[in-house]
Amino acid sequence: MRPEKKQRYLPVTDKDHGCGQIVYHAFRGTTIYIVRGRNGDMMIDTGLFHVRRAVRKWARQYNVKYIFITHAHADHDWNAKSFGKAFGAKILLNKRDLGLKNNYQTLKPTRKKYAFKCFQLNITGSLFSSPRYKVDIAIEREGGALLEKLGFDGEFVFLPGHTRGMTALLCGDTLYCGDAFTALFGEAEIPPYAMDIKGMKRSLEKILRISPKWLACGHGLPVKMGDARKVIERYLNE
């Protein structure tokens, strides 16, 4: 995979759509996003311990008041406690992943080629857990009501499969989708692992129905929906 720049600003439309631009920090396989709000900004995911210092330094240029964890896997919530304290930010997580944080669940490979890597991941993943953190706002419903109260234009979209509580944020024509889709290997690809393969497929179908212009993935750079659609449809038809 080609090296990723630590910081980029990628225009998503010819005009401001409410979120403006996709603002992200891509470093060592992890991508963190910032969504601008009326009363403060929202960080999407926090990365593992090895990106803590770089992400914290980068994020200080924004007014981070909220930290949205797309799902409670260590590579997404490891720094939640640290960043919550550093920025005085409230942490949001889907209610269905509350029992998963600080624990581990067995994942299944989505393709045979990922079987051995998944086996390794299940062994190493069960050996450590993220520093314990308090969830200030448990997301219970899809839609934009909660986000509107917090000062953001957008809506939460539930995409279970990778975890039970896998949640995306749809803002304008960008879907910040966590690990519901990925570009981890430098190109559009389905997630290598999932807790519930059938559930993940239903969520991929949901992404096709939503059909945003961009998928802002938790790993790798943002992907155009045109590129992602081909990959999703091929996988669903296999």
pLDDT of residue 184: 82
Q: In this predicted model, which residue has the larger pLDDT, 146 or 12?
A: 146
Return the pLDDT at 59. 95
* pLDDT level of residue 103 (50, 70, 90 thresholds): low
b/e string for 160-187 if b means 16 or more Cβ within 10 A? bbbbbbbbbbbbbbbbbbbbbbbbbeee
**All structural domains of the chain:** 8-236 (3.60.15.10)
Q: How does 98-122 read in b/e, with b if 16+ C-beta sit within 10 Å? A: eebbeebbebebbeeebeeebeebb
The whole-model pTM stands at 0.91
Using the predicted structure, report yes or no on whether residue 4 has a pLDDT greater than 80: no
pLDDT tens, 159-204? Answer: 999 999 999 999 999 999 999 999 987 889 999 999 999 999 999 9
For the ranges 22-31, 59-68, 107-116, 131-140, which has the lowest average pLDDT? 22-31
What per-residue confidence (pLDDT) applies to 106?
85
